[in-house]
Amino acid sequence: MATLGMTAADREALETFKQDVVDPSMTALILVDFWAEWCGPCKQLTPVLEKVAADYAAKGVKLVKINVDEKKAIAAQFRVQSIPTVYAIFQGQIVADLTPARTESQLTRALDQILAQIPVQGEAQELEAEIEPLVAMGEEVLASGDAERAISIFQQIYDMAPEDPAVIAGLARALTAAGRVDDARALLESTPEKLKSDAAIARARAAIELAGAAPAENTAEYQQRIATNPDDYEARYELAGALMASGDRDAAADQLFEIISRDREWNEGAARKRLLQFLEVVGLEDPWASVQRRRLSAILFT
């Protein structure tokens, strides 16, 4: 910032700004709110900004308020024309103009987008980096079929990060795999409302629904019914659920694809819906899910 021709008070204000905003912005996201005592909209925005900043403090977000009447040099440097004006600053640079965002939802949406693109180093980011390999370990153990050990791993991570959706979902799916469906369901019901729409939570919810709808059981009855009547779609549908619950996902998918190829509209598209549920449980990023999506497209669009 230029200091030529400034008073001693102005230079002191700039030095304070450097200490309060520029230096911390090297690792944190600083929200700079330009305001004044006489500004009604500023007073309306202040509690919203303070709440959002407090909610995002662990993610490396800090709020700094600049009174334009007291810090005219700072306001001039930023060419502030009207107030309130709110800038997001990272590593000494303005990365976003948040002035149009006046509600909590608008601000949180904007901050989520910004934080996804810059390497802010807050407590939340440090914790995420710490638990990421542990979550991967839990997922690997769960995929190997050792549900009890997966529960132990995810429970320890959950104690560290009880509001991480990947951790909550991992623990819920491990509990489900171990037959503790009620415990898994209770865990998801206790999840904060803001996390319930997360894709990982949706995946765990699908696993619980699948476990409740299709317990692993003796499949001989279904197989006999299909052998007698290949168009017994109800038997194929139930067989698919039992096969999936027992871990034979290829055979489970085959049964559903057989229904779809014979009568894709059977039971209001139930076979397609259950297949999509299977894919969600496995994880849409899983290579197996990609293969099944291509198979489904080939049937539906030919």
Look up residue 87 and give its two tokens: 């800038």
Look up residue 177 and give its two tokens: 């795999």
Asked if 223 and 189 count as a contact pair (C-beta separation under 8 A), the reply is no
Look up residue 292 and give its two tokens: 């099944």
Nearest CA to 101 out of 86, 118, 83 is that of 86
Q: Which residues are catalytic?
A: 39, 42
Side-chain half-sphere of 1: how many Cα atoms within 13 Å?
23
Look up residue 175 and give its two tokens: 């509990």
> What is the CA angle 204-205-211, rounded to 5?
90
Look up residue 84 and give its two tokens: 């309130």
Helix extents (H) in the chain: 8-17, 40-55, 72-77, 104-115, 123-143, 147-160, 165-177, 181-189, 199-213, 220-228, 233-245, 249-263, 270-282, 287-300
Please list, in sequence order, all residues whose beta carbon lies within 8 angstroms of the beta carbon of residue 126, skipping any fewer than 6 positions away.
Answer: none
